[in-house]
């Protein structure tokens, strides 16, 4: 793929990702409302579809208030860094055999782990630069949480790597061809690894039940406390983008990427593979985040770390061992 084509795909995919992230706020409000027997947004546009536009218009008119004691440069650029870093994660996602920016990067998943781990930096910087105790507390919690959940995330992410024998995203998808999606095959480790990976990704993206860094009820929004107007929106957008890319990574690693369920039965054509399957899987996994968010409560900070170190890390280590044995004995690698 030539550089120009990659660039164009990147621009289009990045814009689409931001578009989806903006509209996911509508979707979250609508879905959450239905989960709670409410109608949700109904006023702007048909079934409230233009609500994000109205929100954006309103937020663009808001004054960007920078606290006098804040570190002004860091305060302003940290949301942009967060959003840019999150968008960089989209680069290695293979959306189909042909669509994608750098799906053939040989360190694909490593790139996701590395850049994803870096994303704690803009969060921390945003909280520190605000010069606000709530923002600082939120940032500290965010750092502690991201760093500890990085470990089980990596370990459970190693399961599909072991099974596929490659870090390259499109090779991981290729290894799942023929309906051998890692979430279902081998039975057991794959599904458990998906569960672990998904939970840890929620923690990485600061979503409920692991959103103690934001915790509106006790930290007034944590890192985002002082960020107003558009820079606040960008910080929020980065979080939604992170959730979206998490869903896309899960779809790639565990649900066969662009392969559709038609391939299980030996069919061909649009039922068996295509961009739409990847998009569909991503959106379904994305919606799952909202379902969890509006059903569960957030864990306390200490419970959060206890879950990680006492349960998730041993579980992911055990999973890794079981998968290694499976690969050695059954697949004879």
Partner 1 sequence: MSRTLPLWDALVATLRNVGRPMVTEPLPWHAARERKDRYRATFALVHNELGEEACIGCKMCEKICPSQVIDVVAGGRKESPVTGKKRGYCDDFTLDLNACLVCELCVQVCPEDAILMLRERTPVGFSREDLVLSMDRLYANEKPEALAWHSGSVFAEIQDPERGLTPPEEDA
Rounded-to-integer distance, Cα 197 and Cα 157, Å: 6
Nearest approach in angstroms of CB 42 to partner 1 is: 5
Among the listed residues 229, 213, 209, the one whose alpha carbon sits nearest the alpha carbon of residue 60: 229
Nearest approach in angstroms of CB 146 to partner 1 is: 22
Nearest approach in angstroms of CB 123 to partner 1 is: 26
Cis amide prior to 209 (ω within 30 degrees) = yes
Task: Kindly tell me which of 19 and 296 has the beta carbon lying closer to partner 1.
Answer: 296
Nearest approach in angstroms of CB 289 to partner 1 is: 12
Cβ neighbour number for residue 25 with a 10 Å cutoff: 18
Rounded-to-integer distance, Cα 140 and Cα 137, Å: 5
Nearest approach in angstroms of CB 292 to partner 1 is: 7
What phi-psi label fits residue 243: left (phi over 0), alpha (psi between -120 and 50 degrees) or beta?
alpha
Task: Kindly tell me which of 38 and 72 has the beta carbon lying closer to partner 1.
Answer: 38
Task: Kindly tell me which of 209 and 274 has the beta carbon lying closer to partner 1.
Answer: 209
Nearest approach in angstroms of CB 36 to partner 1 is: 6
Nearest approach in angstroms of CB 128 to partner 1 is: 34
The b/e string for 155-187 (b: 16+ C-beta within 10 A; e otherwise) is bbbbbbbbbbebbbbbbbbbbbeebbbbbbbbe
Task: Kindly tell me which of 2 and 36 has the beta carbon lying closer to partner 1.
Answer: 36
Task: Kindly tell me which of 70 and 307 has the beta carbon lying closer to partner 1.
Answer: 307
The b/e string for 61-82 (b: 16+ C-beta within 10 A; e otherwise) is eeeeebbeebeeeebbbbbebb
Task: Give the sign of the dihedral formed by CA 251, CA 123, CA 110, CA 20.
Answer: positive
Rounded-to-integer distance, Cα 173 and Cα 270, Å: 17
Interface residues with partner 1 (CB under 8 A)?
Answer: 34-39, 42-43, 291-292, 294-296
Task: Kindly tell me which of 143 and 305 has the beta carbon lying closer to partner 1.
Answer: 305
Task: Kindly tell me which of 47 and 275 has the beta carbon lying closer to partner 1.
Answer: 47
Q: How many whole angstroms from its chain centre is CA 80?
A: 17
């Amino acid at each position: 793929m030539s550089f120009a084509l990659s660039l164009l795909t990147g621009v289009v995919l990045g814009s689409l990702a931001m578009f989806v992230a903006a509209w996911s706020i509508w979707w979250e409000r609508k879905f959450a409302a239905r989960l709670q027997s409410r109608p949700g947004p109904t006023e702007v546009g048909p079934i409230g579809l233009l609500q994000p536009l109205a929100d954006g218009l309103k937020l663009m008119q808001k004054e960007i208030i920078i606290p006098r004691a804040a570190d002004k440069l860091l305060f302003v650029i940290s949301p942009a860094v967060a959003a840019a870093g999150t968008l960089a994660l989209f680069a290695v996602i293979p959306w189909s055999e042909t669509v994608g920016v750098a799906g053939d990067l040989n360190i694909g998943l490593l790139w996701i782990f590395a850049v994803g781990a870096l994303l704690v930096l803009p969060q921390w910087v945003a909280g520190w630069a605000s010069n606000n105790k709530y923002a600082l507390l939120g940032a500290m919690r965010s750092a502690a949480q991201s760093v500890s959940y990085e470990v089980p995330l990596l370990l459970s992410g190693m399961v599909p790597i072991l099974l596929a024998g490659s870090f390259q995203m499109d090779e991981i998808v290729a290894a799942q061809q023929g309906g051998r999606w890692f979430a279902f095959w081998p039975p057991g480790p794959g599904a458990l690894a998906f569960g672990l990976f998904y939970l840890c990704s929620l923690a990485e993206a600061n979503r409920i039940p692991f959103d103690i860094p934001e915790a509106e009820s006790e930290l007034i929004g944590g890192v985002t406390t002082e960020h107003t107007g558009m820079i606040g929106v960008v910080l929020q957008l980065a979080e939604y983008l992170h959730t979206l890319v998490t869903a896309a990574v899960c779809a790639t690693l565990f649900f066969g990427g662009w392969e559709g369920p038609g391939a299980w039965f030996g069919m061909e054509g649009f039922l068996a593979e295509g961009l739409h399957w990847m998009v569909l899987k991503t959106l379904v996994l994305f919606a799952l985040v909202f379902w969890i968010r509006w059903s569960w409560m957030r864990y306390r900070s200490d419970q959060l770390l206890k879950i990680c170190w006492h349960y998730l890390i041993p579980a992911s280590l055990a999973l890794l061992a079981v998968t290694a044995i499976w690969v050695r004995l059954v697949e004879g690698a």
